[in-house]
Structure 1
Amino acid sequence: MHKFAHHSFGMQLAQLSRAWRAELDRRLSGLGLSQARWLVLLHLALLKEPPTQRELAQTVGVEGPTLARLLDGLEAQELVQRIAVPEDRRAKKVVLSAKARPLIEQIESIAQQLRAELFAGISEEDQRLCQEVHARILANLERS
């Protein structure tokens, strides 16, 4: 075994993540959204309750000022709204606009097509096992 072979799993995972996201970004480019913007929209669509900006930043994995700039752009496109929280004057909840819903359906349709292509020939059992391994690695990272 090559002396750096133990690094290949992490490098392969990083490469897979970048390539998958780049391909999805390429396929979504016609919708007029950057990768960061469509990612925010997808996270908002998946959350059961409208999050505060702080909660959304944590969910998406970006810093607060970065999210604020993304939300400024999404507001300009009339895809999200920021609503004041009565209990906390500083906090704002982020909600999707009605205009965003059909766009999110398009994003999800394109993403689903890509997933189908990428998982072609991979059994459901292999997919489940892979997700289980990833979940264990993430749990170990969270304990670190």
Structure 2
Amino acid sequence: MFDSDEQAIAVVLHDVANRLKVLIDKKVQPYKLTRIKWLALSLLEKRNGMTQTELAHELGVDGSAIARLVRRMEDRNFIYRKGDEKDRRIVRVYIKEEARPVLEDLKAISNDVSTEALRGLNAKEQEEFLNLLLVIRKNLV
């Protein structure tokens, strides 16, 4: 799959993804967050009240990992769990108001990372790049 050519698409995408991870980790370190916790907060901001199962699926983690993640985020006072009103077997996850200022800071960090990563590309090129990445992602699902 990977050949030794340093320009092969898979090699370059992998390298870019790793560099983004390192940069994001560096920028969120003062908040004592990980990328997955950041992503979980972002998902809950858009779809507050997701089930733990839905959250696990969106994050690409298993049931035990999501339970640990949710517990740690509860300990940080970012989220809370509540049983579904219609089906008590279902646990829903909600963002707490205490997390909202952190989310605002994270949005600013996200904008900074995007600006840094996309420097040198004009708005049209950025849009085309995103569309191409979306096509690639769709092809790989």
| Length-normalised TM-score, structure 2 | 0.88
Aligned length in residues: 139
After TM superposition, give the deviation of residue 66 of structure 1 in Å: 0.8
CA distance in 1, matches of 2:59, 2:13: 19
Q: Report the equivalent of 1:131.
A: 130
Percent of pairs with identical residues = 25
Please identify, of 6-15 and 128-137, the stretch whose mean Cα deviation from structure 2 is larger.
6-15
- 3-state SS of 1:88 partner: coil
Ranges of 4+ aligned residues in structure 1 off by more than 3 Å? 3-7
Q: Report the equivalent of 1:118.
A: 117
| Length-normalised TM-score, structure 1 | 0.87
Which amino acid is 1:39 matched to?
A: L
- 3-state SS of 1:23 partner: helix
- 3-state SS of 1:62 partner: coil
After TM superposition, give the deviation of residue 30 of structure 1 in Å: 0.5
Summarize deviations over 1:40-87 as a string: whole Å, max 9, x none: 11221233x421111111112222211110100000111100110122
Q: Structure 2 stretches of 5 or more lacking a match?
A: none
After TM superposition, give the deviation of residue 133 of structure 1 in Å: 1.6
Which amino acid is 1:70 matched to?
A: L
Q: Report the equivalent of 1:105.
A: 104
After TM superposition, give the deviation of residue 7 of structure 1 in Å: 7.4
